[in-house]
Structure 1
Amino acid sequence: MSLIRNFLLVGGGTGSSRILGFGRDMLMAAALGAGPVADAFFVAFRLPNLFRRIFAEGAFNSAFVPLFARELEGQGQEAARSFAQQALAALTLTLLVLTIVAELAMPLVMYVLAPGFASDPEKFDLAVQLTRICFPYLLFVSLVALFSGLLNALGRFAVAAFAPTLLNVVFIGALLLIVWSGHAETPTAGVWLSWAVFFGGIAQLLMLIFAARRAGMAPALVRPRLTPGVKRLVALAVPGVLAGGITQINIVIGTMIASMAPQAVSYLYYADRIYQLPLGLVGVAIGVVLLPELARRLRAGEDGAAMHQQNRALEFALALTVPAAVALAAVPGPIISGLFARGAFTEADAAATAGALAAFGLGLPAFVMIKVFQPGFFAREDTRTPMWFAGVNAAINIVLSLALFPFLAHVGIAIATSVGGWVNAALLAIVLRRRGGLAFDDRLGSRVARLVVASAVMGAALVGVRVLAEPALAGMAGDKAILLVLLVGTGLFVYGGLAVMLGVLDRREIMGAVRRGRPENLKAQ
């Protein structure tokens, strides 16, 4: 089934990036820890990284892909290329102006991004310097998103899926140089990492431009004009970006509030990195693949087929994210310790980060369901309804974060993010169902019930392994890493075995998709 094959392809690309990202973050934890330099860099990277995640997860493409596909199928390749050129020109001009203004006003921007840093002038000035270096990445990654959307609309997912790995390769190289040269935990480390962000963005953009040229659809940079197509793109893109990027926007809101407490920004960053792995593997794949599939089906009048694809996407998403959420909530401590507790990152830091990870984990299924339900609106060129629900999500997040922060610190922010995500997912499902765009079939209901049982058993097994293995491994060299490997192996074995036995996962479907997704069968990608 092509839908699963494309999910696996995009998920594989995202997975390779996230695995490299874990290597990057392990090095970063050892080199920066959770001190003032780490806080300053994470704030500097937060805004461009927000746009990277928003655009990578398909928020911009929620507007661009349906319009580009309409031109391609209705008017032909030249009309589609012309529309892409107009979009490229408008996006480039807008982002250049935004970048120049932000660079000049960066101290004022920092009062918004991290108001708590104002009490520490040295940290504040460093954060301003690092953000100025990182900020142009926003331009590069936004243009990457446009080229990715163009390729995805043509059914070419591979290059766009694997492009983010370039940023992590550059990052890892910079971190190794920092450790080798003895600049760990110094402001110099922050400066070098910021330049890694800058050059990583250029590498990604060049890779996507080359892929578009090979596909025969590389748009030229023309004089910006406010054409009807551009007006329609803006009308759809602004609410689409706000709606599609709400999870990441909430993280930025959390960072602003967390900046008022020492180390809280770093704790949230490391917890965010862990739960973003399953969210990226599944959520990004769904956001990228499902939208063009639904748009194509609906445009052809195949409403039943579109409904079937949405059910299968939801089934696939929950089969992978519910067990991940259970694992993050059940054993967050060993996960954080096994990955990050070394060098400048202490066991106390790991314990503080674990609470946030568990809270984020509880919201993981909701974050992924948002990615399943939103394309049902976007494919019908409705980006406003998801935007309003995203606004409700953000309001809940802000109110709960401010209410819980004095009592639970950074963990309260993570709880607020998860609660907002569940409300958003529920609103999307209810309204889409009322409009006739969503109907859960019997297969979905049956498989979800079985995957919940399998996930619960797996969670109990993980807790049992931790209780038995932790004392036995205490004092042994590499005990944290060994425990993490045991837990990962147990989770995969128990859930995987039960999922196959209970019929949660269809082996024939998965293996067929994998066989069709082998490199020799993906020449068109």
Structure 2
Amino acid sequence: MSGPARGSGRRSSGLVAAGILVSRVTGLVRERALGHYLGTSGAADAFTVAFRIPNLLQHLLGEGVLSASFIPVYSRLLAEGRPRDAGRVASAVLGLLVLAAGGLTLLGVALAEPLTVLIAGGLRARPDTFALTVDLVRLMFPAVGLLVVSAWCLGVLNSHGRFFLSYVAPSLLNVAQVVALALAAWYLVDGTAGTVRVQEELVRWLGVGTVVGGGLQLLVQLPAVLRLTRGLRPVPRVRVPGVPEVLRAFGPVVAAKGVVQVSTYLQVLLASYLAAGALASLRYAQVLYLLPVSLFGMAVAAAALPRLSAGSAQERAAGGGRESSLRHVEAGLGRVAALVVPTAVGYLVVGDLVTATLFQTGEFGRLEVVAVWLVLAGFTVGLTATTSGRLLQAALYAGSETRIPAVTATVRVVVSLVVGAVLMLQLDRVAVTPDGLRVLGDLPALTPLPADERDDTAGVVRLGAAGLALGSGLAAWVEVVALRRAVRRRLGPVRLGGGQLGRIALAAAAAGAVAGLARPLLLTLPPEVGGLAAVALLGAVYVPSARALGVREVTEVLASLVRRVRARRG
């Protein structure tokens, strides 16, 4: 059984990012197909809710929780030269996960309707959409067990330094969904695209593709995992050295991750009381928002966790390791900021162009583009905080500190929902129309729109979802401030951006200013290329500006590229 990787943090995070990039690109293809056939229709709302409900178990039992509870123990056993004990822990944890996920999946299928009421009760005012959502929840729930075991595979592979496969595997889920949607469209759409009947059948086929894709995502990882964990016996056992430690961490981490997931589902519940299309708008905006979170925040945190765990073990054993961990955290925060800050500026300045390039086709028109951009802008307010927070959480989890992330996550949820609920009621009276923004109702508002007005969205797209997104963005900063204080108490002072935030922000502002001045010209381009041109322009200004200002990460990446080019020429 091989030990953890000894490569650099930058190389490891690069492999994670590469895998996630493939997954996210295929996810964008799926979302574009969804936008083409469904737009922001009732069927799109139904699929959005149904896809989120079973994902609750995946997130609670899967990747995030296993990364924080299983990987530190498993990685430490490998680092201590105890591969046999590490294998026993992996076997026992897998057995427990299969037992838990299987039982809860059966309950989910049986209780699909009450679960839908609990999560998106507002849809009952739209009976057809509610009934379709219940059918989709029941259809897709079996994918949960497959995805949870797939997340266990990710934990094993990451601990052995095998980052790319575990993060590229989810692309198979996206591919399966796209294939299912394409087959359904070929079979069903015969000049009636956009009709309610066709849209309902399309999302049912999409549900089948989700289950098939979950199986493929698991199967592609199993051969490598079995080679690394020879003698694997997935029997649910608690009295195995290391397993009690995993379970002790598991509870608080589930609480922390559960609070975040509860926030997501309460956000869905609130959005179900908004005008039709709000749930779909949130979905499309989150696809763009989560792209840098996954590529940069998750990639850096996932690559850093095994190294931070090893440093924590060294600190406990010999009194060292703290300085090394602190350097890893600060270097990671610098990598995150160098990539995320210009992304955030781009979303705010030319986010409509990016949205149009990805989604404007078929049922997804210019009104939907502007509405999704405004929702995206709300999320983007907290983008830097969210991505930095992933790494700060990893630093705490590596030291077996699970209580503080749970508390800070709870505070974030409360702030997000309170602020978001107030803002969504006001902004659901504001709509994007062909003539611009208009107020359609009395302000201030203390209650949701009347039920008979929620489906009346002809020619307008209401902006209640943007209020929820802005509440989430503001709350992310509350959380990251608390996490930074906790890391400072454990390791020492840490700076957002690794001490380079001012220079990074200045370079990003210069890129944003140029893109803003070029907006009139960019808007004349076809939607398919306008976003690409905007991103290219941002990069063309940001990279040399950051280099001139001495942003370390940009300078090092450019130097590495130059060395590779020279080596190939030589």
TM-score normalised by L of structure 2:
0.84
Change (3 A) 1:57 1:421: farther
Change (3 A) 1:391 1:112: same
Cα deviation digits, residues 384-430 of structure 1 (max 9, x gap): 11001101111111211221111021111001111111111110001
Cα deviation digits, residues 200-234 of structure 1 (max 9, x gap): 11111111211112324473222444656434322
Give the letter aligned to residue 103 of structure 2.
V
1:480 to 527, 531, 537: 527
Instruction: State which drifts further: 48-57 or 355-364.
Output: 48-57
Are the equivalent residues in 2 in contact too, given 1:450–1:504 (CA < 8 A)? yes
Give the letter aligned to residue 311 of structure 1.
E
Please report how far the alpha carbon of residue 371 of structure 1 lies from its aligned counterpart in structure 2 after TM superposition. 0.5
Look up the match of 1:239.
252
Look up the match of 1:124.
130
1:338 aligned onto 2:377:
no
Look up the match of 1:357.
376
1:426 aligned onto 2:465:
no
Are the equivalent residues in 2 in contact too, given 1:334–1:480 (CA < 8 A)? yes
1:457 aligned onto 2:504:
no
Are the equivalent residues in 2 in contact too, given 1:5–1:513 (CA < 8 A)? no
Are the equivalent residues in 2 in contact too, given 1:251–1:417 (CA < 8 A)? no
Q: Distance in 2 between matches of 1:182 and 1:103?
A: 27
Cα deviation digits, residues 289-314 of structure 1 (max 9, x gap): 11111011121232111110110000
Look up the match of 1:476.
none
Instruction: State which drifts further: 453-462 or 215-224.
Output: 215-224
Are the equivalent residues in 1 in contact too, given 2:379–2:470 (CA < 8 A)? yes
TM-score normalised by L of structure 1:
0.91
- SS of 2:162's equivalent in the other structure is coil
1:402 to 410, 417, 421: 421
Q: Distance in 1 between matches of 2:98 and 2:339?
A: 37
Look up the match of 2:290.
276
2:537 to 479, 490, 495: 490
2:222 to 202, 209, 232: 209
Alignment of structure 1 residues 73-92 onto 2, 5 Å: 73-74=79-80, 76-92=82-98
Q: Distance in 2 between matches of 1:130 and 1:203?
A: 20
Are the equivalent residues in 1 in contact too, given 2:18–2:164 (CA < 8 A)? no
Look up the match of 1:136.
142
Number of matched pairs: 510
1:439 aligned onto 2:445:
no
1:196 aligned onto 2:209:
yes
Q: Distance in 1 between matches of 2:42 and 2:311?
A: 51
Please report how far the alpha carbon of residue 481 of structure 1 lies from its aligned counterpart in structure 2 after TM superposition. 2.0
Alignment of structure 1 residues 224-235 onto 2, 5 Å: 224-225=237-238, 227=240, 229-235=242-248
- SS of 1:453's equivalent in the other structure is helix
Change (3 A) 1:61 1:256: same
Are the equivalent residues in 2 in contact too, given 1:247–1:421 (CA < 8 A)? no
Q: Distance in 2 between matches of 1:220 and 1:513?
A: 44
- SS of 1:300's equivalent in the other structure is helix
Q: Distance in 1 between matches of 2:259 and 2:11?
A: 27
Are the equivalent residues in 1 in contact too, given 2:292–2:340 (CA < 8 A)? yes
Where in structure 2 are there 5+ consecutive unaligned residues? 1-6, 316-320, 428-463, 565-570
Are the equivalent residues in 1 in contact too, given 2:349–2:512 (CA < 8 A)? yes
Q: Distance in 1 between matches of 2:297 and 2:341?
A: 13
Q: Distance in 1 between matches of 2:557 and 2:349?
A: 28
Which one scores higher on RCO, CA 8 angstroms, separation ≥ 6? 1
Give the letter aligned to residue 227 of structure 2.
R
Where in structure 1 are there 5+ consecutive unaligned residues? 474-478, 518-525
Percent of counterpart pairs with the same letter?
A: 29
Q: Distance in 1 between matches of 2:353 and 2:258?
A: 30
Look up the match of 1:520.
none
Change (3 A) 1:133 1:230: farther
Q: Distance in 1 between matches of 2:99 and 2:522?
A: 57
Q: Distance in 1 between matches of 2:360 and 2:231?
A: 45
Look up the match of 1:310.
329
Change (3 A) 1:95 1:178: same
- SS of 1:404's equivalent in the other structure is helix
Change (3 A) 1:66 1:309: same
1:417 to 459, 472, 479: 472
Alignment of structure 1 residues 35-54 onto 2, 5 Å: 35-50=41-56, 52=58
Are the equivalent residues in 2 in contact too, given 1:117–1:123 (CA < 8 A)? yes
Change (3 A) 1:42 1:218: farther
Q: Distance in 2 between matches of 1:510 and 1:55?
A: 36
